[in-house]
């Protein structure tokens, strides 16, 4: 039986029946705010400078708006995980498509040797080191400590625009940029087994015999290889549709958004339905699509559309991070948590990166850059939201505060220094190529 609306005061009538989100009388101002943020997503990247990057500007804007006495309240990150989960999920898969479309080098051990090192060594060392810091310095229970390490280990394709490789119409000349792009593209999915490991430790306990075999077979082997297979098939099929079927120029232009969204959503949905890792499938599909008619101008068109969508999601997500900071999410921080955050960015990732790259083909200066620019961002927040949506992790508020602090540090440190450092590397590489 329907309840009469007049039984409720207007200020208590809520959208979607969610008792912790926005009031109806806030809807129109929020709609206006959303329009302004989306418009800013198109304008701010053109207006941002080397001292104020677009993510930083959006984060500052979110903090400023939520300092105003508007009466808006954000969803609780521990109790209402659906919102951060879906928003960050969308941001990551769109960024993965844009990243995959940039990569001109085919899958091979030799071409991607730096990436394999980062995935096999750096990510595992980072998970272990951060989990240990969480247990030793913060007193996290083993499951929460492991979740912290697994969530923070993957580098972020969403905020890594300044260190990613070139657009499809330009050649891939920088081994550093290629390594950072491929790492961000793949480890956002390959960290998933360790998220599931943390959930298993929490729900089943530390008894290895109870879940180790199932975890290795399903969460590691099946889900990774199934995602790769789905990504390969999806990317190939969409490539056949675009480049083999007769399409007029006008139709190609009108298909841009449809194909870009299909390249993002089709492999992701199929992989998720198959119980595998959608992030891996999306990135692999974009890479495989890129290898078909790799010099075709349509590759650039699709990339530009995906990147434009990525800008919108970056604007929204960074605005919300600033809003949460202004709303007190960092109030749970202790000095020990600040120390762990700084150690993660300035010690753990650089040392884990150098350990993986030692003896590799990259020059020493490029090894230092790759090791340092393990940008943390939206992917880490997605993983924490995912885990909290599947189990009640102890000390979840501590984890949220710590991860958001690490993202803020990464936006500041990596965002402000990356354009300068990469410009210097590019100039030196160009000088060496001229000299040779």
- Residue 226 confidence (pLDDT) above 50: yes
37 within domain boundaries = no
pLDDT at 106: 66
pLDDT at 46: 65
Distance (Å, whole) CA 176 – CA 234: 28
146 within domain boundaries = yes
> Given pLDDT bands bounded at 50, 70 and 90, which one contains residue 433?
low
pLDDT at 254: 58
**What tokens does 75 get?**
């969803």
- Nearest residue to 350 (alpha-carbon basis) of 338, 335, 337, 368: 368
> Given pLDDT bands bounded at 50, 70 and 90, which one contains residue 248?
very low
- Nearest residue to 317 (alpha-carbon basis) of 95, 155, 162: 95
Sign of CA dihedral 292, 294, 298, 301: positive
> Given pLDDT bands bounded at 50, 70 and 90, which one contains residue 73?
confident
- Residue 336 confidence (pLDDT) above 70: yes
Question: At 275, which CATH number?
Answer: 1.20.1530.20
> Given pLDDT bands bounded at 50, 70 and 90, which one contains residue 401?
very high
Q: What is the DSSP string of 336-395?
A: HHHHHHHHIIIIIHHHHHHHHHTTSSS-HHHHHHHHH-----HHHHHHHHHHHHHS--TT
- Residue 270 confidence (pLDDT) above 80: yes
Lowest-pLDDT choice from 40-54, 320-334, 336-350: 40-54
Domain hosting 408: range is 54-435
360 within domain boundaries = yes
18 within domain boundaries = no
Residue with the larger pLDDT of the pair 314 and 33 = 314
pLDDT at 23: 45
Domains in the chain: how many in total?
Answer: 1
Model's pTM, two decimal places? 0.87
pLDDT at 102: 82
Residue with the larger pLDDT of the pair 410 and 112 = 410
pLDDT at 303: 76
- In the DSSP assignment, the letter for residue 219 is I
Find tokens 């699509």 and name the residue.
289
253 within domain boundaries = yes
**What tokens does 39 get?**
């418009």
pLDDT at 279: 94
| Per-residue pLDDT tens digits for 149-164 | 999 998 887 666 667 6
Q: Using alpha carbons only, how large is the chain's radius of gyration in Å?
A: 22
67 within domain boundaries = yes
DSSP reduced 3-state for 253? helix
For 108: left if phi > 0, alpha if psi spans -120 to 50, otherwise beta; the answer is beta
pLDDT at 436: 55
- Residue 363 confidence (pLDDT) above 60: yes
Residue with the larger pLDDT of the pair 44 and 73 = 73
Distance (Å, whole) CA 331 – CA 220: 37
Average pLDDT, the chain: 82
Measured in degrees and rounded to the nearest 5, phi and psi for residue 23 equal: -75, 150
- Residue 68 confidence (pLDDT) above 90: no
1 within domain boundaries = no
- Nearest residue to 42 (alpha-carbon basis) of 29, 27, 65, 58: 58
pLDDT at 236: 93
Residue with the larger pLDDT of the pair 267 and 29 = 267
> Given pLDDT bands bounded at 50, 70 and 90, which one contains residue 193?
very high
Q: What is the mean pLDDT of residues 112-120?
A: 85
**235 in Cβ contact with 263 (< 8 Å):** yes
**What tokens does 22 get?**
């926005």
Q: What is the mean pLDDT of residues 60-67?
A: 90
**282 in Cβ contact with 127 (< 8 Å):** no
**What tokens does 407 get?**
């993202």
pLDDT at 375: 80
- Nearest residue to 189 (alpha-carbon basis) of 148, 232, 157: 157
> Given pLDDT bands bounded at 50, 70 and 90, which one contains residue 194?
very high
pLDDT at 313: 86
pLDDT at 72: 76
22 within domain boundaries = no
**What tokens does 34 get?**
């959303």
pLDDT at 20: 44
> Given pLDDT bands bounded at 50, 70 and 90, which one contains residue 134?
very high
**What tokens does 121 get?**
């060594």
């Amino acid at each position: 039986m329907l309840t009469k609306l007049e039984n409720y005061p207007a200020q208590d009538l809520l959208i979607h029946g969610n008792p912790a989100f926005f009031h109806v009388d806030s809807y129109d101002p929020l709609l206006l705010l959303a329009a302004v943020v989306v418009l800013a997503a198109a304008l701010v990247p053109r207006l941002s400078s080397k001292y104020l990057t677009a993510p930083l500007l959006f984060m500052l804007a979110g903090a400023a708006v939520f300092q105003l006495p508007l009466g808006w309240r954000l969803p609780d990150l521990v109790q209402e995980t659906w919102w951060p989960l879906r928003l960050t999920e969308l941001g990551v898969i769109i960024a993965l498509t844009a990243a995959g479309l940039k990569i001109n080098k085919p899958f091979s051990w030799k071409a991607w040797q730096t990436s394999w090192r980062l995935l096999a060594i750096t990510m595992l060392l980072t998970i272990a080191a951060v989990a240990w810091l969480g247990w030793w310095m913060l007193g996290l229970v083993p499951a929460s400590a492991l979740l912290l390490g697994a969530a923070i280990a993957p580098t972020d394709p969403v905020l890594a625009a300044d260190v990613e490789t070139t657009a499809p119409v330009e050649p891939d000349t920088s081994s550093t940029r290629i390594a950072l792009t491929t790492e961000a593209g793949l480890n956002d999915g390959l960290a998933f087994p360790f998220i599931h490991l943390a959930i298993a430790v929490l729900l089943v306990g530390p008894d290895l015999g109870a879940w180790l075999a199932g975890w290795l077979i399903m969460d590691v082997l099946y889900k990774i290889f199934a995602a790769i297979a789905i990504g390969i098939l999806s990317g190939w099929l969409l490539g056949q549709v675009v480049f083999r079927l007769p399409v007029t120029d006008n139709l190609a232009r009108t298909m841009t958004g449809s194909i870009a969204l299909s390249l993002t959503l089709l492999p992701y949905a199929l992989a998720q339905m198959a119980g595998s890792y959608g992030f891996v499938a999306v990135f692999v599909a974009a890479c495989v699509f890129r290898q078909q008619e790799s010099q075709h101008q349509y590759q650039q068109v699709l990339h530009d559309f995906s990147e434009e969508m990525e800008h919108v999601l970056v604007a929204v997500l960074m605005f919300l991070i600033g809003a949460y900071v202004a709303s007190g999410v960092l109030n749970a921080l202790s000095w020990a948590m600040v120390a762990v955050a700084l150690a993660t960015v300035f010690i753990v990732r650089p040392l884990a990166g150098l350990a993986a790259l030692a003896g590799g083909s990259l020059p020493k200066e490029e090894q230092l850059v790759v090791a340092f620019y393990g940008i943390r961002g939206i992917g880490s927040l997605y993983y924490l939201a995912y885990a909290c949506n599947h189990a009640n992790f102890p000390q979840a508020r501590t984890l949220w505060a710590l991860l958001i602090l690490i993202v803020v540090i990464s936006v500041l440190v990596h965002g402000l220094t990356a354009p300068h450092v990469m410009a210097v590397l590019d100039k030196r590489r160009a000088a060496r190529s001229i000299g040779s």
